[in-house]
Amino acid sequence: MNLELSSKARLGLAAAAIALAGVAAGYGVASLGGSDTAKEATSGDRKVLYWYDPMVPNQHFDKPGKSPFMDMELVPKYADAAGEEGGVRIDPTLVQSLGLRTAEARRGTLDGGLTAIGTIGYNEREVAIIQPRASGFVQRTYNRAPDDVVGAGAPLVDLLIPDWGGAQEEYLAVLRTGDRALAGAARQRLILLGMPQSTIAAAERSGRPHTVITITSPIGGTIKSLGVRSGMSVMAGQTLAEVNGLGTVWLDAAVPEAMAGQAQPGRPVTATLTAFPGETFQGRVRAILPQAETESRTVTARVELANRGGRLRPGMFATVTFAGVPRSALLVPSEAVIRTGKRTLVMLALDKGRYQPAEVKTGMETGGRTEILAGLSEGEKVITSGQFLIDSEASLSGLEVRPLDGGTAPAPAKATSHQATGRIEKIAPDSVTLSHGPVPTMNWPAMTMTFRLGSQSLGKGFKPGDRVRFTFEQAARGPTVRSMVRETGQ
What is the per-residue pLDDT across 311-358, written as a single tens digit (0 to 9) for each? 999 999 999 988 766 778 889 998 888 887 778 888 888 877 777 888
Are 267 and 249 contacting, i.e. CB atoms less than 8 angstroms apart?
no
Per-residue pLDDT, 71: 65
Question: Given this chain, do its domains 101-111+327-396 and 246-320 carry the same CATH topology?
Answer: no
For residue 310, pLDDT over 90 is answered with no
Beta strands 381-385; 101-104: pairing state = antiparallel
- pLDDT > 70: what percent of the chain? 77
Q: What is the pLDDT of residue 7?
A: 43
Helix (H, G, I), strand (E, B) or coil at 258: helix
Architecture category of domain 417-486 in CATH: Beta Barrel (2.40)
What is the pLDDT at residue 388?
61
Q: What's the CA gap between 355 and 376, in Å, rounded?
A: 14
Read off φ and ψ for residue 36, nearest 5 degrees: -65, -35
Quickly count: other Cβ atoms within 10 Å of residue 115's Cβ: 13
pLDDT tens digits, one per residue of 155-204? 999 999 988 888 888 888 888 888 888 888 988 888 888 888 888 888 88
Nearest CA-CA partner of 357 in 384, 374, 332, 382: 382
- Kindly report, residue by residue over 411-438, the tens digit of the pLDDT: 444 446 888 899 999 998 888 999 988 8
Q: At residue 306, what is the residue type?
A: A
What is the H or E stretch that residue 176 is in?
Answer: helix 163-177
Burial zone of 471 (CB within 10 Å; 0-12 exposed, 13-18 middle, 19+ buried): middle
Longest dimension (CA), the chain: 175
Q: What's the pTM value of the predicted model, to 2 decimals?
A: 0.50
> What's the mean pLDDT in 231-237?
91
Output DSSP code: residue 444. Answer: B
Classify burial at 203, counting beta carbons within 10 Å of its beta carbon; exposed 0-12, middle 13-18, buried 19 or more. buried
In this structure, which topology does domain 246-320 adopt according to CATH?
Elongation Factor Tu (Ef-tu); domain 3 (2.40.30)
What's the DSSP call for residue 488? T
Residue 72 pLDDT more than 50? yes
Judge contact between 132 and 344, C-beta under 8 A.
no
- For the chain, domain boundaries: 7-83, 101-111+327-396, 127-239, 246-320, 417-486
Q: What integer pLDDT is reported at residue 45 of this predicted model?
A: 60
Q: Which CATH class is domain 127-239?
A: mainly beta
- Domain 101-111+327-396 - what CATH class? mainly beta
Contact 156, 127 (CB under 8 A): no
Please check whether residue 75 is in contact with residue 53, taking contact to mean a CB–CB distance below 8 angstroms. Answer: yes
Do strands 447-453 and 478-486 pair parallel, antiparallel, or not at all (unpaired)?
Answer: parallel
pLDDT digits (tens, 9 = 90+) for 376-411: 888 888 888 766 666 555 554 555 677 775 444 444
Between helix 180-192 and helix 163-177 the angle, nearest 10°, is: 170
State residue 65's pLDDT score. Answer: 85
Sign of CA dihedral 244, 248, 254, 260: negative
